[in-house]
Chain A
Amino acid sequence: MATDQFQSPDYYLLDELLTEEHKLVREATRDWVKKEVSPIIEEYAQKATFPRHIVKGLAEVGAFGPYIPQEYGGAGLDQISYGLMMQEIERGDSGVRSTCSVQSSLVMYPIFAYGSEEQRKKYLPKLASGEMLGSFGLTEPDFGSNPSGMVTNFKDMGDHYLLNGAKLWISNSPYCDVAVVWAKNEEGRIHGLIVERGMEGFSTPETHNKWSLRASATGELVFDNVKVPKDNLLPNKSGLGAPLGCLDSARYGIAWGAIGAAMDCYDTALRYSKERIQFGKPIASFQLQQKKLAEMITEITKAQLLTWRLGVLKNEGRATTAQISMAKRNNVAMALDVAREARQMLGGMGITGEYPIMRHMMNLESVVTYEGTHDIHLLITGMDITGISAFK
């Protein structure tokens, strides 16, 4: 792939809403992505291989738990900084961003928010430094959009818990050292358990032949009479609200991340359209191409505003699940539309790995599905505004 010339659009001068520190966070992350992700990502995506070596770099730059307090190995940054990092990393690749989202929001966050002090001290610094990679097991073969139906369960055996069941579609699973697993106790209440690689009966087979998030490893978590020490239960929250709280944090990051993917597609298409000559003119001079670009920048700008406001609310502790859901749905759908239009603007070149657009487009098919499908998010907004659940 050619050198990464990415420049971010800022049509509404939204940089003025950011602090100097936010801008430095974004610049540092962008520089890191240009140096470490852009040169290699196409090859790894083509090979459908997880670039495991970048875990160390992601940890060094601070992409694991940026908002986790410094005493646990995080950076203690605010939510807008976290969002900007996810934007920049997904600008590189949604798969790499997925690795960060899982590590930060789905593994470190529940241990930080629902874990005991011993659990925080034991796991968080190692997760922040990349010494440990984590995964998050909620989805099951028969329970995707409806996780409350899960069948994975654990029994109290006196001195330990006995865990049985299986999780499917789990990001990072083949490489994870620890998994935060959601399972029901004997009363049917959902709890989080920290399962470590090496525990007998725990395996993580990889899911192959994905056309999407090819540079992120996805797999299963299989529990066959796994003895989990009692100290590994997250003590401070249970019920479906516990995993959903993690999803709020990850979805928030995805809302920012999707803008990154969209910006990369827009930026690529804009540059290409000014250079590609057909009928004796740059294709950027044709109205149909301008319409595409004009709509893209409009939608990106709207998404930027939505997310910035959501970031302010999140910093103030006021962002609701429904507000986060709206931003995730809107921005991912927006990014998919931008990717599809941008791909067409590149004609035949658009389907090659010379340009990042098709990779983003295929990645976004996962992003629009995981962390609540587009449709499920519509139902969340629907329920929020009418007070009537249409899930069942």
Chain B
Amino acid sequence: MKILVCISHVPDTTAKINFKDNNTAFDTDGVSFVINPYDEFGLTKALFLKEKHGGTVTVCHVGPASAEPTIRKALAIGADDAIRVDAEPTDGFFVASQLAAIVKENQYDVVICGQESIDYNGGQVPGMLAALLDLPFVNACVGLEVEGTNATLEREIDGGKEKLTASLPLVLGGKKGLVEESDLRIPNMRGIMMARSKKLEVKPATDAAKHTAVAQFEKPQPKAPVKMIAADNVEELVNLLHTEAKVI
């Protein structure tokens, strides 16, 4: 089975978020980056599938060279090889077009994306990618089993789960549930050494439109300071909730 895992490179969840250039760009200064958590579940699932059925796991990232440590980490965790499309991943359609070109060229059986990336939370790429390839697509996927050329998938829906069947090749947008947090793998030293010699192919971007551009980012209003009210002063609390917070 040939599996492609599309990974994005996102700020660590503890990073302090700031913007620059008149609030039109994310300020990466001092920010450490990680594999998008949704994609990490997908990568781990891909390794499980490979261990069960044989095959290869390729990771693909659309982005500049600064993302290569993240790609190397995916290789150290166990992916066999990697492709980086050398372009700024600013627009969902553009990124999906780049990935579609890679999938067309190499013919994967299963293409695993995260349901969204935790930086811009666009959530567009997996769906667009499936549409561009005319392949079955399951988003918010929390379960995948493959038997020959058939797959059974589980998807989270409001208040429950939906079970689906599809035939390969297919595209999915995965999340926790595909594997559990405790299944995630920490690279070991031998893996890190082996990653040195695994292939990381850098490809130029193919021509594709960018349909959106960022006009401006805005941070949420800072939280107002807490006002402490003595436990026995209910009257004051009700008064403030009514007149100041205006929630009752």
A and B: bona fide binding partners = yes
Within 8 A of A (CB), among B62-87: 68-69, 72-73, 76
Contact B192 A77 (CB under 8 A): yes
B187 x A70 contact (CB < 8 A): no
Which A62-79 residues have a C-beta within 8 angstroms of B?
A: 62-63, 66, 70, 75-77
**A20 within 8 A of partner (CB):** yes
B188: chain A residues within 8 A (beta carbon): 28, 60-62, 75
Known: A76-B193, A77-B192, A77-B193. A28 touches B186 (CB 8 A): yes
- The residues of B that contact A60 with a CB separation of less than 8 Å are 188
Residues 214-243 of B contacting A (Cβ, < 8 Å): none
Q: Which of B14, B69, B72, B190 has the most CB of A within 10 A?
A: B190
> A21 at the A/B interface (Cβ < 8 Å)?
yes
Classify chain A's interface size: 20 to 34
A23 at the interface (CB under 8 A from B): yes
Q: Residue B53 at the A interface, CB < 8 A? A: no
Closest to A36 in B: B186
B76 touches A24 (CB 8 A): yes
The interface size bin for chain B is 10 to 19
What residue in chain B is nearest A73 (Cβ atoms)?
B190
A75 touching B68, Cβ below 8 Å: no
**Which residues of chain A have C-beta atoms less than 8 A from B68's C-beta?**
20
**Residues 2-53 of B at the A interface (beta carbon under 8 Å):** 14
Q: Mark A75-96, 1 if CB is under 8 A from B, else 0.
A: 1110001000100000000000
Residue in contact with A61 in the complex, picked from B72, B189, B196, CB distance below 8 Å: B189
Name which residue of chain A comes closest to B14, CB basis.
Answer: A7
Q: For A62, what are the chain B residues with a Cβ–Cβ distance below 8 Å?
A: 188-190, 192
CA distance A35 to B72 in the complex (A): 22
Chain A residue nearest to B187 (CB atoms) is A28
* Contacts A/B (CB < 8 Å), 23 sampled: A21-B72, A24-B187, A25-B192, A28-B76, A28-B186, A28-B189, A28-B192, A31-B186, A32-B186, A35-B186, A60-B188, A61-B189, A62-B188, A62-B189, A62-B190, A62-B192, A66-B189, A70-B190, A70-B193, A75-B190, A75-B192, A77-B192, A81-B189
B residues within 8 Å of A by Cβ? 14, 68-69, 72-73, 76, 186-190, 192-193, 196
